[in-house]
Structure 1
Amino acid sequence: MELQYLTETRRHLHQHPELSMQEFETTAFIKRQLDDMKISYESPLPTGLIATIPGSSSTAVAFRADIDALPIHEENDCEFKSTVDDVMHACGHDGHTTMLLGFARRVKQLADNNELKTTVHFIFQPSEETMAGANQLINSYDFKSLDAIYGLHMMPDNDEGTILSKPGVLTASATEYRFFINGTSAHVANKEQGHSAGKAVTFLLNQLSQLQHYHLPGLGHNIIHIGKFSAGEAINTVPSSGYLEGTIRTFDMDDLTTVKNQMERIRSACEIVTGTSVRIEFAEGYPPTINDSDAYRTMHQAAETTDLEWIEKEDPYLFGEDFAFYSTIAPTAFAFLGCRNEEQSYVTGLHTSTFNFDESVLIKGINVFEAILNQYEDKI
């Protein structure tokens, strides 16, 4: 019965994906599920919600699932394929949401039997992919006193039956940068009268590509990625406008400060060398996800009571994850749930148009959540 519920729930969510801060139908669906379970909830933002099942003690823990989808056209050939053009649950958030709903069903049963001592909060968070939904939620809701917050994320790089994490830093910070260039146009016959935005873009490309080598520690794990650039308007004119954007990934916030300061120097030098006007903007992204030592130990011990194989990673991931913001309000621990299944050809990565998984793996995730809860129940 549980697998049937999880399968139906996940496939409904998968067929009806919604982008960040547009998850209105997704939120309505979650509310209907919670109403059926007679679980109360609050909605501090237009989308997403926080449900609560009170326990009999002062101990309180929270579990988080993200609910948004990605602007990707799905290429899976399955009966529950996305019905929304160019929008897809390609990062497993349909699975995360389903796991949390399934876990809520189990916890509600404990509460109905007067067996729940720990208050449990279920965070259905919008906008993980963009706009830092976690941070928006924290700024809009009083979480009061929490002993810890936990999260799980699907991971197709590792087989079903595994769970992966590490102490300390688990994922990188993610910050976007954008250069806006204004030059002076001129006809190609009088090119010396212009100030080329194309030359400025070339200068920026050259300098940014050397930033890692000359200004950051050699042993650090950092990425200064150039994702998109353009310049010019016509084939026979000096380019009067240009643009360049990319992302910065680092585990050390001091390294991020170094990168941003050096980019400002590059911007200034570009103006001097090319005679253009250059402006840089940073979109403050996600800080590194850092596992609290006690919360990590609790999650590790809990997972070992399930049938999952615990894999402790040596190196952190270089992608960003906005679960990181929750560490500002409580100890946190985050892990990745293996969902690779070669027999079913579920082998493609996150954010790909063919990402998929078997719903039975969601039970393993719920078992971990329940085992974590039991760690707190046993101490009361």
Structure 2
Amino acid sequence: MTVSPAQPIKTSKIRPEIQNLQEQLVKWRRGIHQRPELAFKEKLTSEFVISKLQEWGIPHQTKIAQTGVAAIIEGKTPGKVLGIRADMDALPIDEENEVSYRSQHDGIMHACGHDGHTAIALGTAYYLWQHRENLTGTVKIIFQPAEERPGGAKPMIEEGVLKNPDVDAIIGLHLWNNLPLGTIGVREGALMAAVELFQCQIQGKGGHGAMPHQTTDAIVVGSQVVNAVQSIVARNIDPTDSAVVTVGEFKAGSAMNVIADSAYLSGTVRYFNPALEGYIGQRVEEIIAGTCQSHGASYNLNYWRIYPPVINNPRITELVRSVANNVVETPIGVVPECQTMGGEDMSFFLQEVPGCYFFLGAANTSLGLNYPHHHPRFDFDETALSMGVEMFVRCVEQAENQL
């Protein structure tokens, strides 16, 4: 799959045609930002994407996994099919930014950059459509709902988004405020972690605080569970593997002189190594069961595997890395070992076809655009939008030799 650019590509340079899209990219992003929508409710966002594709005459599929859209750009010469994925959903967060494009939907905010992802994908679709005469192969641009949970990638796959035409490889990016503007984070293998969640209700026997011998103290049992599950990473996982077990909630008790009869715990498990799937959850339950049994308590555990780890294909990663080396303009350039224990349902696409997910640096400390993702004051330097389009377009131009 190749696109012959209108002019020679210069190292560390965004081509003028894409630079000229910057104003539109910002306008699209801000419009989406003002009207954020939660998972599987991205009706306005989906309608906006469809309206632009219709305006440009780009063939597309709609209502995939409710609000998903897929644009199909066929080149003049037949060839491989490259997928490009962008997510569209927002988060249940009250925005605290005082900007002209502040969220108009109370309690909902684009606090993770998905508005930018959608704008970048639209810009990529527009550019490639304008240059389709020079395109070999096909590009399928996937606008996905519900990345923030419960996850839209899997239902889109189940509804055939990777078929007709069949996608040979896929790429995607995440605007990333953990990296400065003008940098790219990309690595082969595990980029993001698996996401698993658990909830546990421990049932003991309450009573008077002065008569503990008549009770089974749920707080004592729960406290021992919290401490014991930390031994999973410390003593059950290979030290060369990274994993996390976090208990984020512990609720118990109602009075200072009453021994609690029940305790509620919830938390998350993260890991990079796919071989750990199922193992940590098993150990969590074994520890809870053993601790409860030793104290005469009972428990009810709910455990969910949400997303597998994001595993980048070496071949496609090398494509993205080689492109990044020619696009980035800062001395830092490409960050090869960038990883996070955050999760992403891009992982489901990467289980189906080879691909690469990468981080596009978007933080600008001098402008105060460096709040972390999911923060009510999250925002990013919009200069990254045209860089994202350039990255995607160059990957398309150079992909034929990698697929």
TM-score clears 0.5? yes
**SS of residue paired to 1:82:** coil
Q: After the TM superposition, which residues 190-339 of structure 1 pair with which residues of structure 2 at under 5 Å, given as runs?
A: 192-308=213-329, 310-314=333-337, 316-339=339-362
Number of aligned residue pairs: give it. Answer: 378
Q: Does the 8 Å contact 2:316/2:402 carry over to 1?
A: no
2:388 matched to 1:365?
yes
Give the whole-Å Cα distance in 1 for the aligned partners of 2:402 and 2:297.
65
Give the whole-Å Cα distance in 1 for the aligned partners of 2:195 and 2:275.
14
Q: CA deviation at 1:192?
A: 4.1
Of residues 155-164 and 363-372 in structure 1, the stretch that sits farther from structure 2 once superposed is 155-164
Q: CA deviation at 1:96?
A: 0.4
2:66 matched to 1:46?
yes
Match of 2:29 in 1: 10
Q: Does the 8 Å contact 1:295/1:332 carry over to 2?
A: yes
Q: Does the 8 Å contact 1:19/1:71 carry over to 2?
A: yes
**SS of residue paired to 2:171:** strand
Q: Deviations over 1:157-208 (max 9, x none)?
A: 2222111111221111111111122233445566544433223212211212
The one of 145, 154, 177 equivalent to 1:135 is: 154
Give the whole-Å Cα distance in 1 for the aligned partners of 2:228 and 2:326.
51
* Residues 1:189 and 1:167: Cα distance change in structure 2 (over 3 Å): closer
Of residues 359-368 and 251-260 in structure 1, the stretch that sits farther from structure 2 once superposed is 251-260
Give the whole-Å Cα distance in 2 for the aligned partners of 1:175 and 1:104.
34
2:136 matched to 1:117?
yes
Match of 1:353 in 2: 376
Q: Any unmatched runs of 5+ in structure 2?
A: 1-19
Percent identity among equivalent residues? 32
**SS of residue paired to 2:327:** coil
Q: CA deviation at 1:39?
A: 1.8
Give the whole-Å Cα distance in 2 for the aligned partners of 1:224 and 1:237.
30
* Letter in structure 1 aligned against 2:189: G
Cα RMSD for the two superposed structures: 2.1
Give the whole-Å Cα distance in 2 for the aligned partners of 1:203 and 1:360.
50
Give the whole-Å Cα distance in 2 for the aligned partners of 1:256 and 1:222.
11
Q: CA deviation at 1:52?
A: 1.2
* Letter in structure 2 aligned against 1:325: F
Give the whole-Å Cα distance in 2 for the aligned partners of 1:315 and 1:160.
15
* Residues 1:140 and 1:240: Cα distance change in structure 2 (over 3 Å): farther
* Letter in structure 2 aligned against 1:65: A
Give the whole-Å Cα distance in 1 for the aligned partners of 2:72 and 2:387.
22
Q: Deviations over 1:332-354 (max 9, x none)?
A: 11111111212322122222222
2:396 matched to 1:376?
no
**SS of residue paired to 2:125:** helix
2:109 matched to 1:88?
yes
Give the whole-Å Cα distance in 2 for the aligned partners of 1:3 and 1:315.
27
Q: Does the 8 Å contact 2:325/2:334 carry over to 1?
A: no
Q: After the TM superposition, which residues 38-187 of structure 1 pair with which residues of structure 2 at under 5 Å, given as runs?
A: 38-42=57-61, 43-55=63-75, 56-111=77-132, 114-144=133-163, 145-187=166-208
* Letter in structure 1 aligned against 2:226: L
TM-score using structure 2 length: 0.88
* Letter in structure 2 aligned against 1:115: N
* Letter in structure 2 aligned against 1:49: V
Q: CA deviation at 1:275?
A: 2.0
Q: CA deviation at 1:54?
A: 2.1
* Residues 1:342 and 1:142: Cα distance change in structure 2 (over 3 Å): closer
**SS of residue paired to 1:31:** helix
* Residues 1:48 and 1:142: Cα distance change in structure 2 (over 3 Å): closer
Q: Does the 8 Å contact 2:324/2:334 carry over to 1?
A: no
Q: Deviations over 1:21-66 (max 9, x none)?
A: 2222221221112221222222221122212122331311010111
Match of 2:3 in 1: none
**SS of residue paired to 1:146:** coil
* Letter in structure 2 aligned against 1:317: T
Q: Deviations over 1:7-33 (max 9, x none)?
A: 111101111111222222221221112
Q: Does the 8 Å contact 1:64/1:125 carry over to 2?
A: yes
Give the whole-Å Cα distance in 2 for the aligned partners of 1:19 and 1:308.
35
Give the whole-Å Cα distance in 1 for the aligned partners of 2:99 and 2:136.
42
**SS of residue paired to 1:118:** strand
